[in-house]
Amino acid sequence: MLSARKRELDIADIFLTQIPSRSPPREYRSLRTCHEVTIGVEPAGAAKYCILVKELRSWSSLTSVTTVPDQCGLHRRRRSEYTFEVCEEKRSPPKDRALPFTLRRLQPGKAYLLQITAWLKGQSLSYPLLGVRTRRSCVT
């Protein structure tokens, strides 16, 4: 049987779980192509990382989007609002460098809004939203 103090620590640990905040997610623009973008996020530890990709009507629609998602509403989001989702389990991510993710299957010249989440200690936490876009032409 768990002591009351141990249970308090476990509950506090769940509520205090946070996404690292030293640096927000970023796009590596030099790796951008007409069909893919590569982003980097600060590791939150061993977790399942998911990226929800939403195609935007135009790049200018990013200006009306807040970069801070509703942490409480993550489980209520409608999957139909998003173009697709990519998930990866990271068991021992590096602590001193960003975790890279390459998103493929994108359309040329389109803008996308990315919601990156990490499943930690039974809780889904979101990084700040990130706007990216693909190259317009596919020059080889």
Per-block average pLDDT, block size 10, for the chain (140 residues)?
47 50 87 96 92 84 63 60 87 89 95 90 86 88
Tokens coding 14? 């769940």
User: Which residue ranges make up each domain of the chain?
Assistant: 4-133
pTM of the predicted structure, to 2 decimals:
0.77
**Nearest-angstrom CA–CA distance, 131 and 62:** 7
| Domain 4-133 CATH assignment equals 1.20.120.1200 | no
Which residue's structure tokens are 């299957």? 105
Q: What is the pLDDT of residue 114?
A: 92
| 55 bridge partner residues | 112
Strand partners, 49: 88, 118
